[in-house]
Structure 1
Amino acid sequence: MTGRVGHPVDSALAQRRIALVDLLDRLLAGGVVLSGELTLAIADVDLVRVDLRALISSVNNRVPAPWGPPA
């Protein structure tokens, strides 16, 4: 890690290891928004345009499902 040598925050972050599962859990707990755009063009003529906007979040028992309880 680059930064000020001997700085307590730098050394604490360098020593800390986070498992990928823990990182995904933290991201999904707050939600992640993915956004993207893809345009296929030939000779400056747009042929196909795809926009992507997705919200990925964890499931919580306190928030009811919009489609109702399972049958």
Structure 2
Amino acid sequence: MTAVERREIALVDLLDRLLAGGVVLTGDITLRIADVDLVRIDLNALVSSVGEGVPAPWPEAS
């Protein structure tokens, strides 16, 4: 049997790592009563940092 190493990481460090590489969130939520779909929500989100090396997707204001 091998021992599993437990590591603790600060929330700020975790967010820094996630934003450096980018995160894609996807999900579907459906509210259904008696096999009738009442509400459906689709979630698609991209979370990433923008810096000098990564240009913004919108034109710059002049």
Among 44, 48, 51, the residue aligned to 1:53: 44
Deviation at 1:41, TM superposition (A): 1.2
Superposed CA offset, 1:4-61 (max 9, x none): 2xxxx83xxx4x6532211110111001111111101111011211110111011121
The count of corresponding residues between Structure 1 and Structure 2 is 61
Q: For structure 1, list consecutive stretches of 5 or more residues without a partner in the other structure.
A: none
| RMSD value, Cα | 1.9
Deviation beyond 2 Å, 4+ runs, structure 1: 16-19
Distance 2:8 2:36 in 1: 48
Instruction: Verify the 8 A CA contact 2:50 2:56 in the aligned structure 1.
Output: no
Q: Which has the larger radius of gyration?
A: 1
One-letter amino acid of the structure 1 residue matched with residue 12 of structure 2:
V
Structure having greater relative contact order (Cα 8 Å, sep ≥ 6): 2
Q: In structure 1, give the amino acid aligned to 2:54.
A: V
Query: Could you tell me the percent identity over the aligned residues?
Result: 69
Match of 1:26 in 2: 17
